[in-house]
Structure 1
Amino acid sequence: MTVQSGYADIFGPQVPRTGDGDQTATFALASAAYRDSPVEEILKANNEWHQSAVSGGRTWTRIFRPNLGEAFSTAVIARMLGAGRKPLIQSFGAEPQVVVEHCLAANNIRRERDNLLTIVMVLCGLLFLPGLLIWLLVFQIRTTIAKQEGRAGALATALLVGVGALAVIFLVKMPFSGFWAWYARAAVVLPVVGWFWAKQICERTAKDLRERWNSLLSGSSVGAKVPEAVPTSPKETAAEQLRQSLARLSAEQQSNSVFYAGPKGILGMGTRWGIWQLAEDLLPADPTREIHPFRSWDVIRAIHDQLRMLERGPLNTGGFTKPSIRHWIVTPVGENTKEVSRPEGTDVEAYQVKSHAIQDICNKQQFGAGDRHYLGVQWTLWDGQLVITMLITVTVLHETLRIEVTGHALGPVHGLFTSKPEAKEKEVAKSLKFWETRKVRLPLVDADEVVRLTARAPLTWYPPLLNWLGGSLTLPEPFGLRHAWADKPWRHRFMADDALRAATPVLRVVHAAAIRVLTENGVDTEKFGTRSAFLSTAVQDTSPSKADLYDA
Structure 2
Amino acid sequence: MTVDSGYGDIFGPQVPRTGDEGQTATFALASAAYRDTDVEKILDANSEWHQSAVKAGKIKLFKPNLGEAFSRAVVDRMVGPGRKPLIQSFGAEPQVVVEHCLAANNIRKERDNRLTVVMVLCGVLFLPGLLAWLLVFQLRTTMAKREDKRAGALATALLVAVGALAVIFLIRMPFTGFWAWYARGAVALPVVGWYLAKQICERTAKDLRERWDGLLAGSSVGAKVPEAVPSSPGENAAEQLRQSLAKLSAEQQSNSVFYAGPKGILGMGTRWGSWQLAEDLAPADPAREIHPFRSWDVIRSIHDQLKMLTRGPLNTGGFTPPSVRHWIVTPIGENAKAVARPGGTDVEAYQVKQHAIQDICNKQQFGAGDRHYLGVQWTLWEGQLVITMLITVTVLHETLRIEVTGHALGPVHSLFTSKSEAPTKEVQKSLKPWETRTIKLPLVNADEVVRLAARAPLGWYPPLLNWLGGTLSLPEPFGLRHAWADKPWRHRFMADDALRAATPVLRVVHAAAIRVLEENGVDTEKFGARSAFLSTAVQDPSPRKADVYDA
Fold conserved between structures, TM > 0.5: yes
Kindly tell me the number of residue pairs found equivalent between the two proteins. Answer: 532
1:413-436 Cα distance to aligned partner (Å, 9 max, x none): 000000000111011111122121
1:256-290 Cα distance to aligned partner (Å, 9 max, x none): 00000000000000000000000000000000000
Q: Aligned partners of 1:438, 1:56: CA distance in 2, in Å? A: 38
The yes-or-no answer on 1:494 pairing with 2:493 is: yes
Q: CA deviation at 1:156?
A: 1.2
Residues 283, 523 of structure 1: 8 Å contact kept? yes
Helix, strand or coil at the partner of 1:540: coil
Counterpart position of 1:103: 101
Counterpart position of 1:3: none
1:26-67 Cα distance to aligned partner (Å, 9 max, x none): 000000000000000000000000000001302xx2110000
Give the partner amino acid of 1:184: A
Counterpart position of 2:74: 76
Give the partner amino acid of 2:146: Q
Q: Aligned partners of 1:56, 1:161: CA distance in 2, in Å? A: 30
1:269-323 Cα distance to aligned partner (Å, 9 max, x none): 0000000000000000000000000000000000000000001111000000000
Residues 46, 484 of structure 2: 8 Å contact kept? yes
Counterpart position of 2:90: 92
Moved more, 386-395 or 20-29: 20-29
Counterpart position of 2:42: 42
Helix, strand or coil at the partner of 1:176: coil
Counterpart position of 2:477: 478
Q: Aligned partners of 1:315, 1:116: CA distance in 2, in Å? A: 64
Counterpart position of 2:60: 62
- The ranges of structure 1 where at least 4 consecutive aligned residues each deviate by more than 6 angstroms after the TM superposition are none
Residues 56, 467 of structure 1: 8 Å contact kept? no
Q: Aligned partners of 1:441, 1:377: CA distance in 2, in Å? A: 51
Give the partner amino acid of 1:55: K
The yes-or-no answer on 1:259 pairing with 2:261 is: no
Counterpart position of 1:11: none
Q: Aligned partners of 1:219, 1:346: CA distance in 2, in Å? A: 42
1:386-412 Cα distance to aligned partner (Å, 9 max, x none): 000000000000000000000000000
TM-score, L = length of structure 1: 0.96
Residues 27, 221 of structure 1: 8 Å contact kept? no
Alignment of 1:401-550 (within 5 A): 401-550=400-549
Give the partner amino acid of 2:337: K
Q: Aligned partners of 2:56, 2:166: CA distance in 1, in Å? A: 35
Q: Aligned partners of 2:43, 2:71: CA distance in 1, in Å? A: 15
Counterpart position of 1:169: 168
Q: Aligned partners of 2:361, 2:406: CA distance in 1, in Å? A: 19
Q: Percent identity?
A: 86
1:459-493 Cα distance to aligned partner (Å, 9 max, x none): 01111111111100000000000000000000000
Query: Which 5+ residue runs of structure 1 have no aligned equivalent?
Result: 1-18
Q: CA deviation at 1:20?
A: 10
Q: Aligned partners of 1:157, 1:412: CA distance in 2, in Å? A: 43
Counterpart position of 1:316: 315
Give the partner amino acid of 2:532: A
Q: Aligned partners of 1:46, 1:434: CA distance in 2, in Å? A: 43
Q: 1:140 aligns with which of 130, 138, 141?
A: 138
Q: Aligned partners of 1:396, 1:448: CA distance in 2, in Å? A: 67
Q: Aligned partners of 2:126, 2:240: CA distance in 1, in Å? A: 41
The yes-or-no answer on 1:215 pairing with 2:214 is: yes
Helix, strand or coil at the partner of 2:374: strand
* Distance verdict in 2 for CA 1:110–1:441, change over 3 Å: same
Q: CA deviation at 1:21?
A: 4.0
Counterpart position of 1:9: none
1:88-133 Cα distance to aligned partner (Å, 9 max, x none): 0000000000000000000000000000000000000000000000
Q: CA deviation at 1:235?
A: 1.1
The yes-or-no answer on 1:24 pairing with 2:24 is: yes
Q: CA deviation at 1:437?
A: 1.1
Residues 326, 374 of structure 2: 8 Å contact kept? yes
Give the partner amino acid of 1:318: G
1:53-83 Cα distance to aligned partner (Å, 9 max, x none): 001302xx21100000000000000000111
Counterpart position of 1:333: 332
Give the partner amino acid of 2:68: E
Counterpart position of 1:288: 287
Q: Aligned partners of 2:495, 2:31: CA distance in 1, in Å? A: 26
Helix, strand or coil at the partner of 1:155: helix
Residues 55, 470 of structure 2: 8 Å contact kept? yes
* Distance verdict in 2 for CA 1:21–1:327, change over 3 Å: closer
Q: CA deviation at 1:229?
A: 0.4
Q: CA deviation at 1:221?
A: 2.8
Residues 20, 382 of structure 2: 8 Å contact kept? no
Counterpart position of 1:6: none
Residues 87, 339 of structure 1: 8 Å contact kept? yes
Residues 20, 380 of structure 2: 8 Å contact kept? no
Q: Aligned partners of 2:22, 2:368: CA distance in 1, in Å? A: 38
Helix, strand or coil at the partner of 1:127: helix
Q: Aligned partners of 1:543, 1:267: CA distance in 2, in Å? A: 22
Helix, strand or coil at the partner of 1:389: strand
Helix, strand or coil at the partner of 1:93: coil
Counterpart position of 1:191: 190
Counterpart position of 2:3: none
Counterpart position of 1:273: 272
Q: CA deviation at 1:151?
A: 2.3
Moved more, 143-152 or 519-528: 143-152
CA-based RMSD: 0.9
TM-score, L = length of structure 2: 0.96
